[in-house]
Amino acid sequence: MSLITLNNLNMSYEGKRVISNLSLEIEEGDYLCIVGENGTGKTTLLKGLLGLKKIDSGSIVTKDGTSLEKIGYLPQQTPVQKDFPASVREVVISGTISGSVFKPFYSKKDKKKAIEAMKKLEIDHLSKKSFQDLSGGQKQRVLLARAICASQKVLVLDEPVNGLDSIAAQEMYEIIDKLNKDGITIIMISHDIKRVIKNSKHILHLGQQKTMFSGKSSEYKLAAENGGFWERNI
């Protein structure tokens, strides 16, 4: 069953059309990877899915009217995030705050969510540590745990292994795979095409103002092996 449906979606970035007439169905439990060169609208599309950026035309329809605010989001790390002055527990539990909701304190349910998310990502032993003092891989696990607190159903990840060493990146991919196997829908931007072909179920390849490919990862791989125009990325 479709969880999110895009109908003839058009979006722009800084006045330039980057997404044109995109139609796509994202199924429950899907693992969709969005690839393409820089400037093709990948992050713009994610922000549209999250309700953080207005669309020019078309529509984004969610199953049963599910709020886009309830999608867990792991953006690309910024210097501010890397030096966030808070404990691991504080960062993770802040994911329970959605939209403009103000919480003077966290409920028992919120605290339970944070504990479960930290255990799932094997960082519960770091709960009292300062986020600033963690390694790059540990920080990404914390931010992913924060995203899980926002949603147990859908995670949107923008280059989740960017800046990580090969071991930390491998561990992050394994965690994402496990989350998907546990039933969480994954929508992820990545430049690591070899890896995403191996792990994902579907691939959306964006080009300049048009969709270059949308379909199963196995079909994408086959097209590349048969001399598809994107073979240079494989």
pLDDT at site 145: 96
- Answer whether 187's CB lies under 8 Å from 156's CB: yes
pLDDT at site 68: 63
| pLDDT for 38 beyond 70 | yes
Q: Which helix (H) or strand (E) holds 211?
A: strand 210-216
- Answer whether 85's CB lies under 8 Å from 132's CB: yes
- pLDDT (tens digit, 9 = 90+) per residue, 151-166? 888 999 999 999 899 9
pLDDT at site 23: 95
| pLDDT for 142 beyond 60 | yes
- Answer whether 222's CB lies under 8 Å from 229's CB: no
- Choose the weakest-confidence range: 27-41, 61-75, 116-130: 61-75
- Choose the weakest-confidence range: 8-22, 86-100, 131-145: 86-100
- Copy the structure tokens of residue 61: 């329809």
Q: How confident is the model at residue 131 (pLDDT cuts 50, 70, 90)?
A: very high
**pLDDT (average), residues 196-209:** 89
**pLDDT (average), residues 125-154:** 93
- 179 φ, ψ to 5°? -60, -40
- Copy the structure tokens of residue 81: 């995030």
pLDDT at site 228: 60
**Looking at this protein, which amino acid is placed at residue 77?**
Q
Q: How confident is the model at residue 17 (pLDDT cuts 50, 70, 90)?
A: very high
pLDDT more than 70, % of the chain:
88
- pLDDT (tens digit, 9 = 90+) per residue, 50-67? 888 999 999 999 876 556
- Copy the structure tokens of residue 140: 């990404």
CA distance 108 to 5: 34
Give the residues across from 6 on adjacent strands. 24, 60
